[in-house]
Amino acid sequence: MNDVINIAYLVTAATFILALKLMNGPKTARQGNLLAAGGMCLALVATFFLNEKGHNVMLDEQGGFKSLNLILLIIAFVVGSFIGTFSARKVPMTAMPQMVALFNGLGGGAVALVALLEFRGFSMTGESDFVKLSTSVLSLVIGSISFSGSMIAFAKLQELMTGRPIVYPGQKLVNGLIFTAALVLIVMLIATTHSFTLYLGLFALALIMGVTFVLPIGGADMPVVISLLNSFTGCAAGLAGFVLGNTSLLIGGGLVGASGFILTVQMCKAMNRSLGNVIFGAFGAVDQTALASGAGQQGTVRSYSVEDAAIIFASASSVVIVPGYGMAVAQAQHVVKELANKLQEKGIDVKYAVHPVAGRMPGHMNVLLAEADVPYEQLYELEDINPMMPETDVALVIGANDVVNPAARYDKASPIYGMPILDVDKCRTVIVSKRSMNPGFAGIENELFFLPNTIMVFGNAKNTIASLSSAVESI
C-alpha cells in the first residue's frame, strides 16, 4: 500500500513543480494554482491510507477505527476549510499582504507543533537517530520563528501596532544573547539530553526570536520579511519531512524553501539593498541623516485644485500613471481606470508604470490594477518605461512616494540611495495626488514635490482621481 501512496506523493510533487512553472505567465498562472491545489488534495487523501507500524494509520492494532482521532481530523478539516475560505474571500485586496503573512504563520505553527509531538515521542522511546533528532529540533526552531515573526508582520501591516521599526539600546546584544542561548539548547538537545522540558524551553525561545527578529524591521520592508519567513516555513516543512520520512513534505518544503529565498533576494535587488541591510538596517526608523540631507533644499510646493490640474491634460498627448500604496489604501484603482478611459477617449496615450516595490509587495499594484480590469499590455515595468519618461507629457503619481524620489539617483546620504526609481521628474509635468506632505514609508522627504514641474493635488486618492476624472470630461 505504501508504494501506491508514495506514487501519489510523487504525482503531488510533480503537480507542485508544474504549478510553479505555469505561474511563469499570467495566462496559465491560475491553472497552475488549481493544479497545485489538486495535487495537495491527492497527497492528503493518500495520507489517510498510509501504513504506519504495519497497519493503516487510521486504524488501531485490532483493525478498528480510531474514532476520536477521526472525529478530530474531520473537525479540523471542516472548521479550517470554512474559516480559511471565508477569510480569504472576504479580505479586501489591499489586505492581501497581511493575509499571506497570517496563513504563512499558521503553516509555520503547524510545522512547529508536528515537530513538537514527534520529539515528544522520541524523548519517550529514547530515539538516538541523529538525523531524526536534529531535523525535529531545527524544524521546531524555524517553524516557531516563522509563526511568531509572521504574526508580528501581520500586526504591523494590519496596523495593530506601529509599522515603524522598534529599536532600543542594546537590542543587538539582547538578540545575540537569545540566539546564543538557543544555539546552546539546540546542541544540548541533539547531542546529549533528549529532555522534552528543554525542548519546550527551546520552543519558547524560538517564538521570542521570531518576535525580536521582526520588531526592528519597518513596515516598508514587511514584504521582504514575509517572503523570507515563507521560505523559512518551507525549509521547516522540508525538515519535518526528514523526521516523518515523507516525500511530499520533503519535496514541497524544499521547493518552497528555495523559491521563497529566490523571491526574497529578488525583492531586495529591486530595492538595491542587501538582505542583511533589510533585516538589520532598521530601515525607516525616523532617520536623522536623511531628514537633514533631504530637508535642506526645499523650495515651495505648488498645490493645485483638481480643476486646474485637469487643464494640464488638455494639452497632453501621453500620460504615465504611477500607482503607489496611497492608491491601494484609498481603493482608487477603479476610478483610476475610469480616468484612464476618459483620457484615452480624448486620444491621449495612457501607460501605467509599475515599480517593483510599489505598494507593500512586488506585484501588489498589478493585482489591484488587474482587479480594475486594466489591460495587461498597458502595464510597464521600470526598465521599459524609464526611457520613455523624457517624451512623456504628464506623469500622474497616485499615492507613491519613495519609488519616485530622485534622491535615490544621486544622494549618497539618503537611505534609498541606489534604489532604481521611476524617473517621473523627467516628464514635462508631474501631478502628484497625495494625502499630505507626510514622508513615505522610508521616513524621508521627497524633493520631487518641490520641483518646478511638479504639481501637488492634496486629498484622498479616490476622491481626487474621481473629481479629476469628471473635470477631464469637461476639458
Of 4, 7, 84, 191, which one interacts with other proteins (CB under 8 A)? Answer: 84
Residue 421 to residue 397: CA distance in whole angstroms: 13
Exposed/middle/buried for residue 205 (C-beta within 10 Å: 0-12, 13-18, 19+)? buried
Of 182, 220, 226, 353, which one interacts with other proteins (CB under 8 A)? Answer: 226
Of 159, 345, 373, 473, which one interacts with other proteins (CB under 8 A)? Answer: 373
The least distance separating other proteins from the CB of residue 16, rounded to whole angstroms, comes to: 5
Greatest distance between any 2 Cα atoms in the chain: 85
Contact status: 384 vs other proteins (CB under 8 A)? no
The least distance separating other proteins from the CB of residue 425, rounded to whole angstroms, comes to: 23
Residue 457 to residue 420: CA distance in whole angstroms: 25
Select from 100-108, 174-182, 199-207, 459-467 the region that touches other proteins (CB under 8 A): 100-108
Of 1, 83, 177, 183, which one interacts with other proteins (CB under 8 A)? Answer: 83
Contact status: 371 vs other proteins (CB under 8 A)? yes
Contact status: 33 vs other proteins (CB under 8 A)? yes
Of 137, 189, 222, 237, which one interacts with other proteins (CB under 8 A)? Answer: 237
Of 172, 289, 305, 376, which one interacts with other proteins (CB under 8 A)? Answer: 376
Contact status: 234 vs other proteins (CB under 8 A)? yes
Q: Give 327 or 394: the residue with its C-beta nearer to other proteins.
A: 327
Residue 154 to residue 140: CA distance in whole angstroms: 21
Cβ(319)–Cβ(392) under 8 Å? yes
> What would the grid cell of residue 460 be?
484622498
Q: For the chain, give me the number of helices (H) and strands (E)?
A: 18, 8
Of 209, 220, 256, 427, which one interacts with other proteins (CB under 8 A)? Answer: 256
Q: Which helix (H) or strand (E) holds 455?
A: strand 454-458
Of 4, 7, 91, 204, which one interacts with other proteins (CB under 8 A)? Answer: 91
Residue 169 to residue 222: CA distance in whole angstroms: 22
Cβ(390)–Cβ(427) under 8 Å? yes
Contact status: 21 vs other proteins (CB under 8 A)? yes
Sign of CA dihedral 429, 435, 438, 441: negative
Q: Could you tell me the strand order of the sheet in which 318-323 lies?
A: 379-381, 349-354, 318-323, 394-398, 429-434, 454-458
Contact status: 32 vs other proteins (CB under 8 A)? yes
The residues annotated as belonging to the active site are 402
Contact status: 367 vs other proteins (CB under 8 A)? yes
Residue 321 to residue 207: CA distance in whole angstroms: 43
Q: Give 204 or 311: the residue with its C-beta nearer to other proteins.
A: 204
Q: Give 230 or 429: the residue with its C-beta nearer to other proteins.
A: 230
Q: Give 116 or 202: the residue with its C-beta nearer to other proteins.
A: 116
Q: Which residues of 250-261 are buried (b: 16+ CB within 10 A; e: fewer)?
A: bbbbbbbbebbb
Select from 167-175, 249-257, 304-312, 452-460 the region that touches other proteins (CB under 8 A): 249-257
Q: Give 204 or 475: the residue with its C-beta nearer to other proteins.
A: 204
Judged by CB under 8 A, the chain residues 155 through 214 that form the site for other proteins are none
Number of neighbouring beta carbons within 10 Å of residue 112: 25
Contact status: 47 vs other proteins (CB under 8 A)? yes
- Name the 3-class secondary structure at 351: strand
Of 1, 4, 67, 85, which one interacts with other proteins (CB under 8 A)? Answer: 85
The least distance separating other proteins from the CB of residue 348, rounded to whole angstroms, comes to: 21
Of 11, 49, 106, 435, which one interacts with other proteins (CB under 8 A)? Answer: 106
Of 245, 276, 347, 452, which one interacts with other proteins (CB under 8 A)? Answer: 245
Contact status: 250 vs other proteins (CB under 8 A)? yes
Cβ(318)–Cβ(391) under 8 Å? yes
Contact status: 131 vs other proteins (CB under 8 A)? yes
Judged by CB under 8 A, the chain residues 49 through 78 that form the site for other proteins are 50, 52, 57-58, 66, 68-70, 72-73, 75-77
Q: Give 313 or 325: the residue with its C-beta nearer to other proteins.
A: 325
The least distance separating other proteins from the CB of residue 356, rounded to whole angstroms, comes to: 6
- Name the 3-class secondary structure at 321: strand
Cβ(411)–Cβ(473) under 8 Å? no
Residue 424 to residue 448: CA distance in whole angstroms: 9
Q: Give 22 or 455: the residue with its C-beta nearer to other proteins.
A: 22
Alpha helices by DSSP H, listed for 245-345, are 247-270, 275-280, 288-295, 306-314, 325-330, 333-345
Residue 223 to residue 221: CA distance in whole angstroms: 6
Contact status: 110 vs other proteins (CB under 8 A)? yes
Give Cα 399 to chain centroid, integer Å: 19
Of 370, 388, 389, 451, which one interacts with other proteins (CB under 8 A)? Answer: 370
Number of neighbouring beta carbons within 10 Å of residue 473: 12
- Contact mark string toward other proteins, 410..449, x via CB under 8 A: ----------------------------------------
Contact status: 294 vs other proteins (CB under 8 A)? no
Select from 32-40, 158-166, 180-188, 341-349 the region that touches other proteins (CB under 8 A): 32-40
**What's the start-to-end Cα distance of the chain, in Å?**
74
Residue 258 to residue 285: CA distance in whole angstroms: 30
